[in-house]
Chain A
Amino acid sequence: MNRAFLANLVRLAITLAVIGTVILAVLLPFALPHDHPGTVIAAFLLGPLSSLRHLGNVAEYATPIAFTGLAATVVFRSGLFNLGIESGVFLGGLAATTAALLLPSFGPFTPLVAIVFGAVVGSISCIIPGELRLRWEAPEMVTSLVLNFAILYAGVFFLNYYLRDPAAGSLMSYRIPADAKLDRLLAGTRLNSGAIVALVACLAGGVWLYFTRSGLNLRIVGQGPVFASHLGLSSRRIVMQAQIVGGMIAGMAGAIQVLGLYPRFSWTQLPGLGWTGIIIAILARENPFYVVPAALFLGYLQVGGDFLARDIGIPSEVVGLITAAIMLAVTATAIFQHPAVLRLIRRIRRVEAAR
């Protein structure tokens, strides 16, 4: 066995142990006042696994956040902390709806056209903060943070004045035509063909980042711009490429979410999928291959939360608390770079080397 692999296994085992502890620690205060605390925890942990339909729900939740997780991974790998993916999702969904409603039908290619349109428009949200940073050194974290809200209101304006169905009760678009919708994969769930695209995208992202020259260039630039410039790499172009690609993936997330799940476009707030994407990127240690399991895991927590809400009467928001605690725990260097852990890993490597 590969020693690097074994060392990684140690980290994985610690991660899983930490996550398990955190889930129990957050859930216990909610479970203990209940008559049967065990049933609360069982509903949360085992509910999502109880039937094929619920597993389908897990995958359904995981689909958009796998995209945003991949988007966050690509953007963060460039070294910029660009939070524009949040509004990129919103913009992608809005643009895809616009394409589905206003462009003529392209037969079986209608969803594809709408998704591409959503991806291209969605990328604007990451390109603007990236460009302001590269050209004028404006701090991208701050500009992208407020730009998210500016884009939200611009989008709501567009929805209200150009796409709004006056016959609908509240602010929402006309019905999305049937030929623009994505195919459903599993009866009783909203799992759609977008899930397959998400899986392929994450695998392709991993291959790109680890097995191609341009992926290597991105990793070099993100880790050390100075070193990259000594190698003769054009940092500016490579960083911009990552913002465009990341923004497009975020736009795809929104497009696929709207075309796959909803009868109409009705977002009037930021959907929050971009923030979840950041959490996924952190859980996956900014590795596209790990984005899929990380997204499935968060989907599993979300379905568990739905079980709590439905069977026990505890609001599913408890999942937010659990996720926040997991974010802190898995990035805690006090745990993952604890001298004992590092010693263990070093010993495994030495044993392997001696063989």
Chain B
Amino acid sequence: MTGLLNIVADPATFATVLRVMTPLLIAALGILISDRAGVFNLGMEGMMLTGALVGVLVSAWTGSAWLGLLAAVVAGGLMGALMAFAVNTLGANLIITGIAMNLAASSGTTLGLFFATGDKGMSGALKSGVMPSIDLPFVGDIPVIGPFLSGHNVLTYGALLAVPLVSLMMARTAFGLRIRAVGVDPKAAATVGISVKLIQLKALILSGVLGGMAGAYLSMGYVSWFAQDMTAGRGFIAIAIEVMGMGTAWGTLAATIVIAIAETLAITMQTLGLPNELMQMIPYVVPIVVLTIWTARGRAKRVALK
């Protein structure tokens, strides 16, 4: 038991939670924006994967991690635009478009890696960049809590900062209001002069930008290389997180923390000798249980109101 207590009180455990959290939070916020605009982004997994590869390749070519991040963000945004084009101009089904995005990204990144390096599995031979960690001035010197708060990846701080920003954007800006209007009732939004297609295009580009950023963190922060299908379902967990968060930025943050703690627990419990496959199940079982309880409670309330 003291072993477990030591793990919980260790700044390293806290750092692991933040590391696990970062890509999930960024991706889930991206899904949130698309969801609220009525164009649920099931292609998030593919956008993350694309961002991860583009970040590694561009940072290796230019020698700059920041340019890699920029390229990853642009690539994600382009995929968002492509998705908007497929849904709103071609008239393809939204969910099918998302599945197609994931398939195209999974094959496309393998091809891209092959043509860039001659290897289909890993980018280990490339000297790609890593996003820097930041030691906060003053904050890092605070006794006890200082080591917990300082020294994390710049994208981790970015992800945490994105929560109030997305929340403010959705609640307090004209753009956020239009997104919500389009998501609730596109026809009503159109009658007051909002261009539904344009708002959905912008929302999906923004969603893709965040997806590219989440992917860049995976290959240039979480680890320092790209591997085939390295997102490993994180885009899908992000979907579950967004649904658990009930479409609000702060709810998404709370859900991300729950999942990240579950995953950290899984990682640390493996070191205590428990079968690691069963521990790996935890972050996937938690959203199913939470979602079921919440929807069941919601239904019970509606029944009680009748």
Contacts and interface: CB of A to CB of B under 8 A. Distances in A.
Interface of A: 81, 132, 135-139, 141-143, 145-147, 149-150, 153-154, 156-157, 160-161, 275, 278-279, 282, 315, 317-321, 323-325, 327-329, 331-335, 337
Contact of B295 (A138, A156, A318, A333): A138
A146 B288 contact: yes
Given A139-B243, A149-B233, A320 B277 contact: no
Interface in B219-233: 233
Contact of A324 (B100, B288, B296): B100
Contacts of A137: 295-296, 298-299
Contacts of A141: 95
Interface in B72-114: 86, 89-93, 95-97, 99-101, 103-104, 106-108, 110-111, 114
A84 B299 CA distance: 24
Nearest to A332: B90
B107 A320 contact: yes
B62 interface: no
A157 B243 CA distance: 28
A320 B240 contact: no
Given A328-B86, A331-B92, A335-B90, 17 more contacts: A136-B299, A146-B284, A147-B284, A149-B233, A149-B281, A278-B99, A279-B103, A317-B114, A320-B104, A321-B108, A325-B104, A327-B96, A328-B90, A329-B90, A331-B93, A332-B92, A333-B90
Contacts, number: 131
7 smallest beta-carbon distances between A and B, as pairs: A320-B107, A333-B91, A157-B277, A324-B104, A150-B284, A136-B296, A332-B90
B287 A142 contact: yes
Interface of B: 86, 89-93, 95-97, 99-101, 103-104, 106-108, 110-111, 114, 120, 233, 236-237, 239-240, 243, 275, 277-278, 280-281, 284-285, 287-288, 291-292, 295-296, 298-299
Contact of A327 (B100, B243, B277, B285): B100
A327 B103 contact: yes
B147 to A, nearest CB: 33
Given A146-B236, A146-B287, A157 B90 contact: no
Contacts of B280: 153
